[in-house]
Homo-oligomer: A and B are copies of this chain.
Amino acid sequence: MTADRLTFNTKHLISALVTAGVKNFVISPGSRSTPIALLIAEYAQYDATIHYWVDVDERSAAFFALGLAKGSQQPVVLLATSGTAVLEYLPAVAEAQVSEIPLILLTANRPQELQNLGAAQTIPQIEPFTVYAKNQLSLALQDDEPGVTEYIDFKVQALVHEAWRTPAGPVQIDLPLRKPLLPDMGKAPIEPVQPLTYAAMSKRTLGSPHSLTAYRRIMILAGPNVTEDYQDQLWQFAQAYSIPVWTDILSRVRTPKSLYGLNDWLADDKLDSKYLPDLVLRFGKTPISPNLLSWLKQKAIPIWQIGMPADLDYTRQSQRCFEMSPSEFLNSVACVQSNEQQAFHARWQALKPNKGTSRASNLISCLDQTVKPDQAIFVANSLSIRQMDTYFSGKNSHKIYANRGVNGIDGIISSALGLSVSQKPHRSILLTGDLSFFHDMNGLMMAKKYQLPLDIIIMNNNGGGIFAGLPQAQCKQYFTELFATPLNLDFQAIAQVYDLPYTAVQNVAQLPQLLNQPVTAGPQLILYESDTY
* A497 touches B (CB below 8 Å): yes
In the complex, per-residue mask of A305-316: 1 if CB is within 8 Å of any chain B CB, else 0:
000000011101
In the complex, A403→B230 CA distance in Å? 51
Residues 157-192 of A contacting B (Cβ, < 8 Å): 180-182, 185
* A522 touches B (CB below 8 Å): no
Interface size on A, residues (CB 8 A): 84
Of A125-133, A246-254, A328-336, the segment with at least 4 beta carbons within 8 Å of chain B is A125-133
**B482 pairs with A123, CB closer than 8 A:** no
How many identical chains are in the complex? 2
In the complex, A57→B411 CA distance in Å? 11
Question: In the complex, what residues of B have CB within 8 A of residue A484's CB?
Answer: 29
* A304 touches B (CB below 8 Å): no
**B29 pairs with A88, CB closer than 8 A:** no
Residues 420-473 of A contacting B (Cβ, < 8 Å): 435, 438-439, 441-442, 445, 464, 466-467, 470-472
Residue of B nearest to A309 (CB): B118
**A285 pairs with B118, CB closer than 8 A:** yes
In the complex, A481→B44 CA distance in Å? 13
**B470 pairs with A31, CB closer than 8 A:** yes
**B56 pairs with A119, CB closer than 8 A:** no
Of A213-221, A259-267, A488-496, the segment with at least 4 beta carbons within 8 Å of chain B is A488-496
**B94 pairs with A57, CB closer than 8 A:** no
Of A34-42, A371-379, A507-515, the segment with at least 4 beta carbons within 8 Å of chain B is A34-42
In the complex, per-residue mask of A32-64: 1 if CB is within 8 Å of any chain B CB, else 0:
001001100110000000000010111100000
In the complex, A132→B127 CA distance in Å? 9
**B85 pairs with A410, CB closer than 8 A:** yes
**B496 pairs with A435, CB closer than 8 A:** no
| Of listed A41, A180, A466, A475, residue having the most chain B CB within 10 A | A475
Residues 284-311 of A contacting B (Cβ, < 8 Å): 285-286
Question: In the complex, what residues of B have CB within 8 A of residue A410's CB?
Answer: 57-59, 84-85, 88
Measured between C-beta atoms, what is the minimum distance from A196 to chain B in Å? 29
In the complex, A250→B27 CA distance in Å? 32
* A483 touches B (CB below 8 Å): yes
**B314 pairs with A123, CB closer than 8 A:** no
Residues 314-328 of A contacting B (Cβ, < 8 Å): 314, 316
Instruction: From the candidates B87, B285, B487, name the one contacting A56 in the complex (CB within 8 A).
Output: B487
Measured between C-beta atoms, what is the minimum distance from A386 to chain B in Å? 11
Contacts A/B (CB < 8 Å), 14 sampled: A31-B467, A31-B470, A34-B483, A37-B478, A38-B475, A56-B439, A84-B408, A88-B410, A94-B123, A114-B314, A118-B312, A122-B406, A127-B131, A181-B472
A-B pairs with lowest CB-CB distance, top 9: A84-B408, A118-B312, A119-B314, A127-B131, A84-B91, A493-B496, A117-B314, A128-B128, A118-B286
Q: Could you tell me which A residues sit within 8 Å of B by CB distance?
A: 27, 29, 31, 34, 37-38, 41-42, 54, 56-59, 83-85, 87-88, 90-91, 94-95, 97-98, 113-114, 116-124, 127-132, 180-182, 185, 285-286, 312-314, 316, 406-408, 410-411, 435, 438-439, 441-442, 445, 464, 466-467, 470-472, 474-475, 478, 481-485, 487, 489-490, 493-494, 496-497, 499
Task: Beyond the given A38-B478, A118-B285, please list 17 additional residue pairs across the A-B interface where CB-CB is below 8 A.
Answer: A29-B467, A54-B485, A83-B406, A84-B411, A85-B410, A97-B123, A117-B312, A118-B312, A119-B314, A120-B406, A181-B471, A181-B472, A441-B441, A490-B499, A493-B496, A493-B497, A494-B497
